[in-house]
Amino acid sequence: MHGRTHLPWRTTRDPYRIVVSELMLQQTQVERVIPLYEAFLARFPSFEALAAADAGDVVRAWRGLGYNSRAVRLHALGRAVVERYGGRLPSDTAELRALPGIGAYTAAAVRAFAFELDDAAVDVNLRRVIHRVAFGLEHPAQADDRTLDTLAIAAVPRGGAHDWNSAMMDLGATICTARSAKCLVCPLRDTCAAAPVDSATLAARVREHAARRTPQEAIPFERTTRFLRGRIIDRLRDVPARESLALDALQHDLAAVVPSDRLHEIPAVVDALVRDGIVMREATRIRLS
DNA sequence: AATACGGGGTG
DNA sequence: CACCCAGTATT
């Protein structure tokens, strides 16, 4: 058996454990999820346990993962699964897509990894590997996402979606990575349009076709809204569950970690967090939802 | 079609 | 410092 056999979600077929892993893995690296995964499952062992909790408890358990809206969505998903399906996650794509936090990728991943149905979970790894094999290096792109999806789906062996998706992701994460390609040890080297990849060529192509920086990313992190949101949520995580914090006190405490000329932005950022369902306001006090 | 959304790891 | 990461929802 090759590949990353140590991943804690790889051996289970429990739909709950699979969705939790998939929500955690959305835009968050495997190595960072691993140490937090089992602790989360111990705290919330089932859809019912998740649904019975406050969203704020889930956001607390989410510390270290980032993209906190995912915690709120996972909590909402738990409640929806309990209410709509009696605690049983559906395997139908349309029903999965209708649940909070589940998009095209996650629906396919749940189907393949939890239900062993023939579907292609086309994440950044799959897209890169398929592109290289079928068209060569991905910078510049020779095919759009829809084309890559179609190729991926056609390549899934009947009854073998779980292992196939796992293998393709492992290939993309360990051998055919974004920054390099170890074609010499790649099982697909004989049929791959990109092999053998020259590392200097790959680096040059990536530089040449680098995506335009978004305005938010072009400025120092301490000047971004994300930074403020992160500091506010971190502070609220330290407030005991079901207790609240005065907005004044929040502003005072954050003076230690936030540039002084940004403290006046805190109320507006809190408003945004409330709109996102992450923070709850009670008069002049706030807490995690 | 663009943008917002975290934060830590890597070369 | 720039790029990368098992994407989704909103505008």
> Residues of chain A with pLDDT > 70: what percent?
98
Q: Is the CB of A141 under 7 A from strand B?
A: no
Q: What is the CATH number of the domain that holds A51?
A: 1.10.340.30
Instruction: Give the model's pLDDT for residue A264.
Output: 96
Domain assignment present for residue A2? The answer is no
Retrieve residue A149's tokens: 């999806």
Protein-to-nucleotide distance from the CA of A27 to the C1' of B6, whole angstroms? 10
Q: Are residues A160 and A240 in the same domain?
A: no
More confident residue, A217 or A277: A277
Q: Are residues A73 and A139 in the same domain?
A: no
**Does the pLDDT of residue A213 top 90, yes or no?**
no
Positive or negative, the Cα torsion across A18, A19, A25, A27? Answer: positive
Domain assignment present for residue A118? The answer is no
Whose CA is closest to A125, among A161, A160, A170?
Answer: A170
**Does the pLDDT of residue A219 top 90, yes or no?**
no
Domain assignment present for residue A40? The answer is yes
Per-residue pLDDT of A75-94, as tens digits, reads 999 999 999 999 999 999 99
Domain assignment present for residue A3? The answer is no
Residues in A 270-289 whose C-beta is less than 7 A from nucleic strand B are 272
Q: What is the CATH number of the domain that holds A183?
A: 1.10.1670.10
Strand partners, A181: A176
Instruction: Give the model's pLDDT for residue A37.
Output: 97
**Does the pLDDT of residue A2 top 90, yes or no?**
no
Burial A82-116 (b: 16+ CB within 10 A, else e): beeeebebbbebeebeebbbbeebbbbbbbbbbbe
Closest nt by CA–C1' to A209:
C3
A208 in catalytic set: no
Q: Cα–Cα distance between A162 and A108 in angstroms, integer? A: 11
Residue A10's contacts (CB-CB under 8 Å, 6 or more residues apart) are A4, A166
Pairing of strands A285-288, A279-282: antiparallel
Domain assignment present for residue A104? The answer is yes
Q: Are residues A230 and A256 in the same domain?
A: yes
Q: Cα–Cα distance between A196 and A189 in angstroms, integer? A: 7
Q: Which of A1-10, A161-170, A191-200 has the lowest mean pLDDT?
A: A1-10
Q: Is the CB of A219 under 7 A from strand B?
A: no
Q: What is the CATH number of the domain that holds A255?
A: 1.10.10
* Residue finishing a domain among A113, A145, A160: A113
Q: Is the CB of A109 under 7 A from strand B?
A: no
Mean pLDDT on A177-184:
96
> Residues of chain A with pLDDT > 90: what percent?
91
Q: Is the CB of A35 under 7 A from strand B?
A: no
More confident residue, A210 or A197: A197
Whose CA is closest to A229, among A194, A208, A206, A257?
Answer: A257
Q: Is the CB of A174 under 7 A from strand B?
A: no
Contact indicator for A127, A77 with CB cutoff of 8 Å: no
More confident residue, A207 or A26: A26
* Residue finishing a domain among A177, A208, A239: A208
Domain assignment present for residue A9? The answer is no
**Does the pLDDT of residue A212 top 70, yes or no?**
no
Contact indicator for A268, A34 with CB cutoff of 8 Å: no
Q: Cα–Cα distance between A208 and A125 in angstroms, integer? A: 21
Q: ∠ at Cα A13 (A8, A16), nearest 5°?
A: 85
Q: What is the number of other CB atoms lying within 10 angstroms of the CB of residue A148?
A: 23
Mean pLDDT on A31-58:
97
Task: Report the nearest residue to nucleotide B11, CA vs C1'.
Answer: A179
Q: Cα–Cα distance between A79 and A191 in angstroms, integer? A: 46
Q: Are residues A253 and A173 in the same domain?
A: no
Could you give the 3-state DSSP secondary structure of residue A7?
Answer: coil
Q: Are residues A202 and A268 in the same domain?
A: no
More confident residue, A208 or A148: A148
Q: Are residues A108 and A128 in the same domain?
A: no
Domain assignment present for residue A214? The answer is no
Protein-to-nucleotide distance from the CA of A227 to the C1' of C8, whole angstroms? 20
Q: Are residues A197 and A242 in the same domain?
A: no
Q: Is the CB of A234 under 7 A from strand B?
A: yes
Domain assignment present for residue A27? The answer is yes
Contact indicator for A237, A60 with CB cutoff of 8 Å: yes
List bases in chain C with any atom under 7 Å of a protein Cβ. Answer: 2-9
Looking at every residue in chain A, the average pLDDT score rounds to: 95
Strand partners, A193: none
More confident residue, A111 or A4: A111
Place of tokens 């995506």: A211
Instruction: Output phi, psi for A40, to 5 deg.
Output: -65, -45
Closest nt by CA–C1' to A177:
C4
Both ends of chain A: CA-CA distance in Å? 44
Q: Is the CB of A91 under 7 A from strand C?
A: no
Residue A126's contacts (CB-CB under 8 Å, 6 or more residues apart) are A120, A148, A152, A165, A168, A169, A172
Place of tokens 């002084």: A260
Q: Residue A87 sits in which domain range?
A: 15-113
Protein-to-nucleotide distance from the CA of A234 to the C1' of C3, whole angstroms? 26
Per-residue pLDDT of A254-287, as tens digits, reads 999 999 999 999 999 999 999 999 999 999 999 9
Q: Cα–Cα distance between A171 and A178 in angstroms, integer? A: 11
Domain count, chain A: 3
**Does the pLDDT of residue A216 top 90, yes or no?**
no
Task: Report the nearest residue to nucleotide B2, CA vs C1'.
Answer: A214
Q: Is the CB of A64 under 7 A from strand C?
A: no
* Residue finishing a domain among A208, A236, A256: A208
Instruction: Give the model's pLDDT for residue A217.
Output: 72
